[in-house]
Copies of this chain bind each other. A is one copy, B any other.
Amino acid sequence: MLSFASDYIAGAHPKVLQHLVETNLENLPGYGSDTYTDQAAHKIRTACECPDAQVQFLAGGTQANQFVISTGIAPYQGVIAAATGHVSIHEAGAIEYSGHKVLEIPGTNGKLAADDVRTWLDTFWADGNHQQMVMPGMVYISQPTEYGTIYSKAELEALYGVCQDYRIPLFIDGARLGYALASPSNDVTLPELAHLCDVFYIGGTKVGTLCGEAVVYTHLNAPENLITQVRQHGALLAKGRLLSVQFDALFTDGLYLEIGKHGIEMAEKLKALFTDRGYDFFLESPTNQQFIIMDNAKMRELAQEVEFSFWEKYDDEHTVVRFATSWSTTQEDIDGLAAIL
Chain A residues in the interface with B (C-beta under 8 A): 1, 3, 5-6, 8-12, 14, 17, 20-21, 23-31, 59-63, 65-67, 70-71, 74-76, 78, 89-94, 96-97, 99-102, 104, 126-129, 131-135, 205-206, 210-211, 224-225, 227-229, 231-239, 241-242, 307, 310, 312-313, 328
With a cutoff of 8 Å between Cβ atoms, the chain B residues found around residue A307 in the complex are: 27
**C-alpha gap A310/B128 in the complex (Å):** 8
Contact of A237 among B6, B211, B232, B312 (CB under 8 A): B211
Extra pairs beyond A206-B238, A234-B234 (11, CB < 8 Å):
A11-B20, A17-B24, A62-B231, A91-B232, A92-B133, A94-B233, A99-B99, A131-B225, A132-B228, A210-B242, A211-B242
The residue on B at minimum CB distance from A242 is: B210
**C-alpha gap A133/B70 in the complex (Å):** 19
The residue on B at minimum CB distance from A28 is: B9
Jot down 29 A-B pairs with beta carbons below 8 A, ordered by A.
A8-B238, A9-B28, A10-B26, A11-B24, A11-B239, A12-B24, A21-B21, A25-B328, A31-B131, A60-B238, A61-B238, A62-B236, A66-B234, A76-B92, A76-B228, A78-B93, A90-B133, A91-B132, A91-B232, A91-B234, A92-B134, A92-B229, A93-B100, A93-B101, A94-B233, A96-B99, A135-B225, A210-B241, A211-B239
**C-alpha gap A92/B225 in the complex (Å):** 11
Interface-centre pick from A11, A60, A100 (highest chain B CB count, 10 A): A11
With a cutoff of 8 Å between Cβ atoms, the chain B residues found around residue A27 in the complex are: 1, 3, 5, 9-10, 307
With a cutoff of 8 Å between Cβ atoms, the chain B residues found around residue A9 in the complex are: 27-30
With a cutoff of 8 Å between Cβ atoms, the chain B residues found around residue A96 in the complex are: 78, 96, 99-101, 134
Contact between B17 and A30, CB atoms less than 8 A apart = no
**C-alpha gap A25/B11 in the complex (Å):** 6
Give the 4 A-B residue pairs with the shortest CB-CB distance, closest first: A11-B24, A63-B234, A92-B231, A93-B134
With a cutoff of 8 Å between Cβ atoms, the chain B residues found around residue A205 in the complex are: 237-239
Contact between A20 and B17, CB atoms less than 8 A apart = yes
Contact between A30 and B59, CB atoms less than 8 A apart = no
With a cutoff of 8 Å between Cβ atoms, the chain B residues found around residue A76 in the complex are: 92-93, 97, 225, 228-229, 232
The residue on B at minimum CB distance from A245 is: B11
Contact between B30 and A6, CB atoms less than 8 A apart = yes
With a cutoff of 8 Å between Cβ atoms, the chain B residues found around residue A3 in the complex are: 27
Contact between A29 and B5, CB atoms less than 8 A apart = yes
Contact of A132 among B21, B70, B92, B210 (CB under 8 A): B92
**C-alpha gap A8/B93 in the complex (Å):** 33
**C-alpha gap A233/B70 in the complex (Å):** 12
Given contact pairs A10-B25, A128-B310, A89 touches B229 in the complex (Cβ within 8 A): no
Shortest CB-to-CB span from A125 to chain B, Å, is 13
With a cutoff of 8 Å between Cβ atoms, the chain B residues found around residue A26 in the complex are: 10-11
